[in-house]
Chain A
Amino acid sequence: EDQVTQSPEALRLQEGESSSLNCSYTVSGLRGLFWYRQDPGKGPEFLFTLYSAGEEKEKERLKATLTKKESFLHITAPKPEDSATYLCAVQVDGGATNKLIFGTGTLLAVQP
């Protein structure tokens, strides 16, 4: 069964304290891995798509990496405005429908 697991469930950082969020996946065949940011009461906001092991993408203080079993979202010198829930999702080979299988997210709190 295709599955996505995110850890930790919650993470509290001090401003400037770098860390990483983990997304591990078990799928029959990976088509793509997506990272989204979700603020309270709002819809998920697209951040990155990664397609193959070894791929990396960056956006401001965020950097996403991908291996054959997991993805990391590295946050460098975070600021309070980076506080949000970060969602990971995978697309699986073999289907025409653009399905995303989501993890439960990591709730990040950055304190000033």
Chain B
Amino acid sequence: ETGVTQTPRHLVMGMTNKKSLKCEQHLKHNAMYWYKQSAKKPLELMFVYNFKEQTENNSVPSRFSPECPNSSHLFLHLHTLQPEDSALYLCASSHGELSGNTIYFGEGSWLTVV
């Protein structure tokens, strides 16, 4: 059982579609993250939110749009994606943004762009 819940677990979307990934953490953390995991590549940090404020955007294309309405919820809005965006998208949370705090991951959302 994980303290970070992601929905949907699997998503197939066309390149012209608009969809959203949702993440909720039950750990009373105040920092949340989006990571991308592609085959044969290391996990890549996409966005960091601390107390609902975005503190990191790791040069992510604008077709990925994050939203953090409160410290427990994080969304990733997707539009006009490309096939190369197909990957496992992982949400994570930690007590704070400062280094040294362990990051806990959700189960991930498998995204396939067709």
Contact = CB atoms under 8 A, between A and B. Distances in A.
Interface of A: 4, 31-32, 34, 36, 41-46, 49, 51, 87, 89, 91-93, 95-105
B86 interface: no
Contacts of A44: 43, 90, 105
A100 B108 contact: no
B99 A104 contact: no
A4 B90 contact: no
A15 to B, nearest CB: 27
Contact of A98 (B90, B97, B106): B97
B51 interface: no
Contact of B43 (A41, A45, A87, A93): A87
Given A45-B105, A46-B104, A103 B42 contact: yes
B100 A32 contact: yes
B43 A95 contact: no
Contacts of B6: 43
